[in-house]
Amino acid sequence: MLVFSSVRLQFMNIRTGIIIVLTGFLCMNTNGCAQEGNSEGDEQEKGHAFTNALINESSPYLLQHAHNPVNWYPWGEKALQKAKSEGKLMIISIGYSACHWCHVMERESYEDTTVARIMNEHYISIKIDREERPDIDQVYIEAAQMLIGSAGWPLNVITLPDATPVFAGTYFPRDRWINIIKQVQEVYEQDPERLTTQAQKIMTNLKQYNAAGEYGEQNVSKTDIALAVDKWKGKMDKKHGGLQSTIKFPLPGSLHQLLNYGYLKKDKKALELAELTLDRMALGGIFDHVGGGFHRYTVEPTWQIPHFEKMLYDNGQLMSLYAAGYQVFGKEIYLNVLDKTLRFITTEMMNTEGGFYSSYDADSEGEEGKYYVWSSGEIESLLKDATPIFKDYYLITQKGNWEKGYNILHAKDTPEAYFSKSETNISLDENLEILRKARNNRVKPGLDEKVLTAWNALMMQGFIDAYRATGNDGYLETALKNADFLINRQLDDDGRLNRNYKDGKSSINAFFDDYAFTIRAFISLYQVTFDIIWLERAVKLSDYSIAHFYDADRKLFRYKSDLDEALIVSKFPVNDNVIPSGNSVMANNLFVLGNLFYEEKPGYLEMVNGMLDVVAERFKESPYYHYGWMPVFYNNVNGFYEIAIVGDEFDLAMKEMQRHYIPDAIYLGGQDDQGLSLLNDKLVAGMTYIYVCQNKFCKLPVDDPEKAIALIER
């Protein structure tokens, strides 16, 4: 054991082999860690006295660090070769623009010249925007989980010159960070073999974890799905909704599939849990009642106290979820959530070309949540006579329901339920608008203006689903504008996508989720317009994905294109987390396209079956972390509907039909057969007909959407 000042550096065996533990220093959770104090260096300098290699980057997160005294490099050949040629360890620091604790660590450590001197002398330091480079982030997050049991951002990894990790942690206060980087460097100088051995162990475990597992034919039955959903329901918080946890992430994709199953199978408990969660989130502080949009998560289990950053990927998926919730339950509060959030997106997070920005920061003026919270006195001065009712409804107190006497708006009940018990009434919308206008005079949180293809596709999907649920043509227009943006700015003629767009420039070869989510959104656009161009684009992107991402031996798609440089391990993600995996989304894409083009693309369905072989046992074991696979497993064993709508007035019939919730349906149609075999011989001159089909067998056509709905058996 080597002892350095107040910190113990020791080697010990745990489940993954030898790891380094810096006792007392590892701060481990997915949200960054609570601040444990700071000791400012006398030499700390702020302003623009320094400029490093990040100054030429476009990422707002990287540019935030461009004037640190740390000699940061972006990830690339220059930095990697420099580490190898100089034989230096690397510090790979990963975060994102809206990350509160990333900002804290920057202020405390990376702006400090004492810290910078140590890092610059002994390390090659690389800064990475995890949203631009999720491929790198995935590898080092996984290494951190193996080393310390969990991970989060900021993620700080120390590696050998060849980029293999030897140490990982999240947020560290300044003095602790200094001790860590000093001690790891001393071990490297005095006994480098120990770090080499450590790195070899980690690499062995990473490669084993990412190796192809054993699998056979997928054998998921109706009973297996029912048992999986029972496990799912058992993990849910019966009082507040969401998965049981001391902090609450929305996990909209997971909840969406639980809702679908409850609706399709008339599973009362599944529906109750989905409705409970939708209600609690809509009423809670995680929803921005004043301006619309959801914050990323809450720091307690009741959805009341949020971590204030707003992410595009959350809000896109939540719009799809609340659209489905509105179709199933018909609650006005869900419609209000849709309307407010989509207005927030179009006014605050959309550029003039139709692209959606990535995120809003949690902080403004150096304080978390300052933009969003209210004192009781502010409410009183703004709302006058409406104050007592408004304060009671939104649980605002003189003392405050948050920190420093401030309040976060969260509602007692739905407006209908609350005001039915009261003799007095006020317009909540009018008073919220007064607060919104007042809040606009505050300093806004930082906006990350980079446009990410995958996240844009998730938000496009949200607008499409909102259009289906409400019939609001404006939602479809926004979705089409965003689709045109992706085509004009992010898509090459050969089917290759870019991931990032900023300041008029597209960059970074896209990753697999960029393709999978865009394909899904284009399929959905076809199903609400019957414009065949969207299916043709989806097929072209699918074929490109197969050519450059598919591994026939693994029966899965890798995360990085074969055109890109390889990392220390290759990733084939199948787990669904806050964002679904590209593989689960692609399995559903290929299922839909394979059935629409069953004669032209039989290989699509063969690929789907191979993917299901790989993931079947994992799905049965933990369905809530493989929720994206649920629709294709469900449709395989329960069947699904093909709904063809043809004739001169197909658009009216289609719009009315899709106001009903039919999650196990594939729509197609138009004024001609579009080259789709499923539409052959279905057109009748002068008539608009709806065909309800299963397994390519159709019932007699009907001319009214309500009659068609009656043909769908549950």
Give 362-365 contacts, CB < 8 A, sequence gap 24+.
362/98, 362/99, 362/100, 362/295, 362/296, 362/307, 362/308, 362/309, 362/445, 363/100, 363/103, 363/308, 363/445, 363/446, 364/442, 364/443, 364/444, 364/445, 364/446, 365/443
User: What's the pLDDT score for residue 674?
Assistant: 87
Of all residues in the chain, the percent with pLDDT exceeding 90 is 86
Question: Rounded to 5 degrees, what are φ and ψ at 95?
Answer: -160, -160
| Domain match, 12 and 64 both | yes
Better pLDDT: 302 or 15 = 302
pLDDT, tens digit, 9 for 90 and up, residues 636-672: 999 999 999 999 999 999 999 999 999 999 999 999 9
pLDDT at residue 4 tops 60: no
User: What's the pLDDT score for residue 434?
Assistant: 97
User: What's the pLDDT score for residue 176?
Assistant: 96
User: What's the pLDDT score for residue 294?
Assistant: 98
| Domain match, 504 and 405 both | no
- The band of 614, judged by pLDDT with boundaries at 50, 70 and 90, is very high
pLDDT at residue 14 tops 90: no
| Domain match, 99 and 179 both | yes
User: What's the pLDDT score for residue 554?
Assistant: 94
Does residue 217 lie in a domain region? no
Q: Residues 6 or more apart from 554 whose CB is under 8 A from it? A: 212, 572, 614
Domain boundary among 574, 604, 638: 638
Strands 72-74, 367-368: pairing is unpaired
| Domain match, 75 and 179 both | yes
| Domain match, 626 and 655 both | no
Is the entire prediction scored with pTM above 0.85? yes
Mean model confidence pLDDT for the chain: 91
| Domain match, 243 and 180 both | no
Mean pLDDT of 87-98: 96
User: What's the pLDDT score for residue 6?
Assistant: 27
Does residue 523 lie in a domain region? yes
| Domain match, 239 and 350 both | yes
Does residue 214 lie in a domain region? no
Does residue 215 lie in a domain region? no
pLDDT, tens digit, 9 for 90 and up, residues 393-420: 999 999 999 999 999 999 999 999 998 8
At 638, the amino acid letter reads: N
| Domain match, 83 and 138 both | yes
User: What's the pLDDT score for residue 214?
Assistant: 65
| Domain match, 387 and 299 both | no
Across the chain, how many H-helices and E-strands are there? 25, 24
- Reduced DSSP (H G I as helix, E B as strand, rest coil) percent helix, strand, coil of the chain, to 5: 50, 15, 35
pLDDT, tens digit, 9 for 90 and up, residues 125-138: 999 999 999 999 99
pLDDT at residue 1 tops 50: no
pLDDT at residue 37 tops 50: no
User: What's the pLDDT score for residue 242?
Assistant: 96
Count up the domains in the chain and report the number.
Answer: 4
Q: Residues 6 or more apart from 445 whose CB is under 8 A from it? A: 98, 308, 309, 360, 361, 362, 363, 364, 371
- The band of 421, judged by pLDDT with boundaries at 50, 70 and 90, is confident
Q: What is the CATH number of the domain that holds 154?
A: 3.40.30.10
Domain boundary among 618, 638, 658: 638
- The band of 26, judged by pLDDT with boundaries at 50, 70 and 90, is very low
User: What's the pLDDT score for residue 489?
Assistant: 97
| Domain match, 463 and 515 both | yes
Does residue 29 lie in a domain region? yes
User: What's the pLDDT score for residue 457?
Assistant: 98
| Domain match, 562 and 598 both | yes
User: What's the pLDDT score for residue 605?
Assistant: 97
- The band of 48, judged by pLDDT with boundaries at 50, 70 and 90, is low
User: What's the pLDDT score for residue 40?
Assistant: 35
pLDDT, tens digit, 9 for 90 and up, residues 451-485: 999 999 999 999 999 999 999 999 999 999 999 99
Q: Cβ-count burial of 175 within 10 angstroms (0-12 exposed, 13-18 middle, 19+ buried)?
A: middle
Does residue 292 lie in a domain region? yes
User: What's the pLDDT score for residue 169?
Assistant: 94
Does residue 216 lie in a domain region? no
| Domain match, 654 and 690 both | yes
pLDDT at residue 504 tops 50: yes
Q: Which of 277, 266, 269 is nearest to 237 (CA)?
A: 277
User: What's the pLDDT score for residue 420?
Assistant: 86
Of all residues in the chain, the percent with pLDDT exceeding 70 is 92
pLDDT at residue 39 tops 80: no
Alpha helices in 284-366 (DSSP H): 312-329, 332-348
Does residue 455 lie in a domain region? yes
Mean pLDDT of 284-291: 98
Q: Which domain holds residue 656?
A: 641-710
Domain boundary among 163, 180, 209: 209
pLDDT, tens digit, 9 for 90 and up, residues 221-257: 999 999 999 999 999 999 999 999 999 999 999 999 9
